[in-house]
Structure 1
Amino acid sequence: MTVDEPDEPKRQSRQKRVGDALRRDTRNRLLEAAGDEFTAHGYTRATVTRIAAGAGVSVQTLYLAWGSKRELLRGYMEKSLAGSAASPEDVISRFTGKSPSERLEELADLVAEVAERAAPGWRLYRDASAVDPEIAADWDELQLLRHQAFARVVGGIPAAALADGLTPEAAVDTAWTIASPDSYDLLVHRRGYEPGEFRDWMKQTLIAAVLAPRADAKPTA
């Protein structure tokens, strides 16, 4: 046994930490380069060669780090949606104790926050899904996850507070449609709304479409 042997596990642990940090840095640089490439050229015309060059790595390293251009697009979208990386439960806690109208106003605020950073990714996914079946499946999954999140938020509104004839399930579908990537694209990019105007439109439209008049009472529980 040599005097160096007791330090070997520590040295290996340190090497692993350094290696993990380098891999995270490489993945992040590739993600940033992919975002620039997708924004400039769209998904279909983007090339892994330019993405790798933008990150200062080889194409082989790109594939080792991410696997494919499609996975880079997915990573770019997830990073855009995550923002400050609050957990889903932290996001849902924003709605705790709010009246029905306050809940919908908070939902509009949240969607507006996400839309400002995620809109480029939304457009990339929408356009790429028309030519790539796997991306189309990813896009469907992301839309389903968004619907599930809306179900947790809008599903917390008492049925008695909903507009006449609107079921809880229809209320979720209504809010999911109004506060959607498509609405953002139509109003902000095609009609020239400012982000704040889009947020205000969502608040007014959600409340008018989902709630009965005077459905503003605070939850009793």
Structure 2
Amino acid sequence: MNSPKVVSREEFTVARKKLLESEKELSHVRDRVNAERRALPMVEIDKDYVFDGPDGPLSLLGLFEGRKQLIVYHFMMPPGSDHLCPGCTMLSDNVGHLAHLHDRDTTFVAVARAPLAEITPVKERMGWVFPWYSSEGSDFNYDFHVSLDADVAPIEYNYRTAEELEAAGLDWMLTGPGDWHGLSVFLRRGKRVYHTYSTYARGTDLLNGTFNYLDLTPLGRQGDGFYSPSRTGKE
């Protein structure tokens, strides 16, 4: 196990102040990127997606629950899946009380391609209380590039085509389960819905509170799994 070297309190303070400058720089970069994200143009949704929920079918507009903004987590769970994605599971365990989002006119939901009959027992077993809908039978997952099937739609993940994924050494994604994780954001104006943002791969790290805590520690994330920077740096 690698661990930091032992030094005097004085040496530690010098090193910590040096890191503080980098942290301040990172905060400025993060603020700039957040502002650029908010300034992105948006695209009006012109397709009638249908989702299956506990109270029956509903549209993308219905997922908003009357609020102005909608955050959709694309859960990696295709129909007939016999396992849960460890990354999606860990991220879902980190979803907190939604009242603070609701107070800011924002709804959070998860969507998976698996049928509701498969989603419901998983949700109950895991103790998750956030809304989780099925997009089975719709183009939603394919249009937002979290289900990869060249027979249905041109393959694209994290804004890369199949050829670009192969060139980046990510060809294993093309032969994997076919469903991947991501996040999409939508804005509502009356009954019109607009797509404002999507992110994939390590772009969802910000949602995982466990990672943010572990990034503060000397041992870090302690693993070489899908979400480890050592594996996904090219994504």
* TM-score tier (shorter): under 0.3
Q: TM-score, normalised by structure 1?
A: 0.25
Q: Which of the pair has more CA radius of gyration? A: 1
Q: TM-score, normalised by structure 2?
A: 0.24
Higher helix share: 1
Higher strand share: 2
